Structure 1
Amino acid sequence: MIVGVVDYGVGNVGSVMRALEVLRVTPLLVNRATDMHAADCLILPGVGNFADCVRMLEAGQWITALKEEVVGYNKPLLGVCVGMQLLADSSTEGAVNGEPVKGLGFVSGQVKHLAAMGCQFRVPHVGWNAVNSAQAQDHLFHEIPPETDFYFVHSYAFEAKNAADVIATTQHGITVTAAVRRGHVWGTQFHPEKSSKAGFKVLKNFIEGPSC
């Protein structure tokens, strides 16, 4: 099993690679869009600003390549943090003249600021929060008990168009999407690579799932 970690210029690639090494799988640092095809499944990290991440994806010709691999070849994909947000149709983060920034469109929905969604708690949301799986049958949370804590760092959240695409939630003044799934595409708002044993279990479940 070769797990490709998409390195398009964001800063948390190293921690994802180390987590995969702990799980004793073969991590492949993919730093050219043309090299993605060598991986059996893909992890798309992301930190910082949504619009900046999109610009880096565009500059490296990653968007076309990702769509070819994920849509054309049905390659499993896991987006992490902003990497999950990039799966959406669009985001208000970095919007110009009120025009949302276009995402990959793998999971229908829009990314919005927590305050705009009604959150009155402190933003950014940083720290450990309990996560509950909304769909117990999804293998991403296999053998992970309800109310397990995962590590979050974010100011924006995924508002899915279809409730069925939300497979886990957490609470931060409002109900926040913690994980999404559409077919063979998953995303986690939390950082599994920074979430101790439970986070490593999520990564293991993704890699060992029926789609990979």
Structure 2
Amino acid sequence: MTELNPCVTVLDYGSGNVRSAVRALERAGATVTLSAKPEDVLTADGLVVPGVGAFGSVMAELKSVDAIRMIGRRVAGGRPVLGICVGLQVLFESSVEHGVRQEGLGEWPGAVELLPADVVPHMGWNTVQPAEGSMLFEGVENERFYFVHSYGVQKWDFDVLQPKMKAPMVTWSQHGAPFIAAIENGPLCATQFHPEKSGDAGARLLRNWVQSLRKKRA
């Protein structure tokens, strides 16, 4: 029944067409609100942070709606957040897009860098190597997902910098070099690919995430 569905807010801060993400989440079993209002962002069972375009532009738009503070409050309170595409990238410390260093949210160490591939953007379907025990990729470990990006995080230093903390689950893909395709870190998850554009595999991944919200609320 609809009233039992987890409530998910898709952060509305001007990031391109997010209607496909809203529809995909609804099909995955969520009751979805597209909003940047604090009451919607902070109280939802889950928050989705989409991202399309340049890192710097996305960061500026997030700041304009006070989303950086609200995302930080959710993470600090253990309330689930899912970043998508540039929504993953801004969770890292910085980006060097177009040769200019820009600050990110700093939830994870690392920099977003240009993929060292003969052809960029990396556009189309690609396989991933999910972390063992992944919740997001349960049932779709061997499937392909849809990517559209020229930049990515190619190094992972969390295990070294935070030796006393449980290491996040990191899923990798490759285009010119290995890059992070997804991360699961307690309440904070993110994918470099677009699950809402990844057919049945992406639909299953979103159902897995929505189901985790249902379990957390129970």
Q: Same fold (TM over 0.5)?
A: yes
Aligned twin of 2:105:
104
Give the counterpart letter for 1:161 in structure 2.
Answer: D
Q: Is the 2:145–2:195 contact (alpha carbons within 8 Å) kept by the matching residues of 1?
A: yes
User: Which of 175, 179, 185 does residue 188 from structure 2 map onto?
Assistant: 185
More moved, 148-157 vs 159-168: 159-168
Task: Give distance in 1, aligned partners of 2:99 and 2:107.
Answer: 20
Instruction: Trace 1:45-194 onto structure 2 (pairs within 5 A).
Output: 45-71=50-76, 73-93=77-97, 96=100, 100-114=101-115, 119-133=116-130, 135-146=131-142, 148-158=143-153, 159-162=155-158, 164-165=167-168, 167-194=170-197
Identity of aligned residues (%): 40
Q: What are the Cα deviations for residues 64-83 of structure 1, in whole angstroms up to 9, with x where unaligned? A: 12111221x21111100000
Please report the RMSD computed on the Cα atoms of aligned residues, expressed in angstroms: 1.7
1:5 aligned to 2:10?
yes
More strand by proportion, 1 or 2? 1
Instruction: Trace 1:36-47 onto structure 2 (pairs within 5 A).
Output: 36-47=41-52
Local SS of the residue matching 2:136: helix
Q: What are the Cα deviations for residues 14-44 of structure 1, in whole angstroms up to 9, with x where unaligned? A: 1100101222320111232443123111110
- Count of residue correspondences: 202
Gaps of 5+ in 1: none
Gaps of 5+ in 2: 1-5, 160-166
Question: How big is the shift at 1:200?
Answer: 0.9
TM-score, normalising length: structure 1: 0.88
Local SS of the residue matching 2:78: coil
